[in-house]
A and B are shown apart, each in its own frame.
Chain A
Amino acid sequence: QSVLTQPPSVSAAPGQKVTMSCSGSSSNIGNKDVCWYQQFPGTVPKLLIYDNNKRPSGIPDRFSGSKSGTSATLDITGLQTGDEADYYCIAWDSSLSGAVFGGGTKLTVL
């Protein structure tokens, strides 16, 4: 059971928007920055969002992140079949003195 809670799966049609949630507590998301990663099967995770809402160079602006209180959200607009992947959130947890990942959300583009 992960410290950060993500829905196991989400789905949406091509071209639509999907929102993924990552719920934590005051010891992690509530006081620390959140990152989001995309992982295709058999590949290394890729950084999508850091510091809650910043995109690394090369990440399309279809991907956006936000944080409110003890929850973070990853939005993907203009969904493409190529976006089908697992998505993970992560934040530092000051109580655990360690980073914690969410369990991951599998995105299906119908």
Chain B
Amino acid sequence: EVHLVESGGGLVQPGESLRLSCAASGFTLSDYYIDWVRQAPGKGLEWVGRSRNRAKSFTTDYAASVKGRFTISRDHSKNSLYLQMNSLKIEDTAMYYCARRYGGYDYWGQGALVTVSS
């Protein structure tokens, strides 16, 4: 059975860093695109970034709002994917989801809450 489990969320101050993990089970992570999507409290969905699969050399893309601050990486030995978030801003406060893309986002994690506040 396919599962995605995020971890690593928490409360940080502006300018600090945080790394989210997305652990996959039930499938081989390297075969799929994985995107990060976030949702600020009471707001809509916002695409954050993408890590493509092995066939696409694990290339990445990022939303303009996070480019240069956020980095997606993979650890194939752990079947996991990471979102390194640096120079966090108050407006980065959101629930962060990793989602497997196959056609659309067919599986989502339960989310990791990131709160950036002084």
Residues of A within 8 A of B (CB): 2, 35, 37, 39, 44-45, 47, 49-51, 54, 56, 86, 88, 90, 96-104
Contacts and interface: CB of A to CB of B under 8 A. Distances in A.
Q: Which 8 A-B pairs have the closest CB atoms?
A: A50-B104, A50-B103, A35-B104, A99-B47, A104-B44, A47-B104, A44-B108, A101-B45
A99 B45 CA distance: 11
Interface of B: 35, 37, 44-47, 49-50, 61-64, 97, 103-106, 108-111
B61 A56 contact: no
Contacts of A101: 37, 44-47
Contacts of B50: 98-99
B90 to A, nearest CB: 19
Interface majority SS on B: helix, strand, loop or mixed? strand
5 contacts: A45-B105, A47-B105, A49-B104, A51-B104, A98-B64
Interface of A is mostly: strand
A104 B39 CA distance: 12
Contacts of A96: 64
Contact of A54 (B61, B97, B103): B103
A51 B103 contact: yes
A98 B62 contact: yes
B104 A103 contact: no
Contacts of A35: 103-105
A39 B108 CA distance: 12
A65 to B, nearest CB: 11
Contact of A103 (B44, B61, B62): B44
B47 A100 contact: yes
Contacts of A50: 103-104
- The CB with the most chain B CB atoms within 10 A, among A54, A97, A102, is that of A97
Among B46, B47, B49, B109, chain A packs the most CB atoms within 10 A around the CB of B47
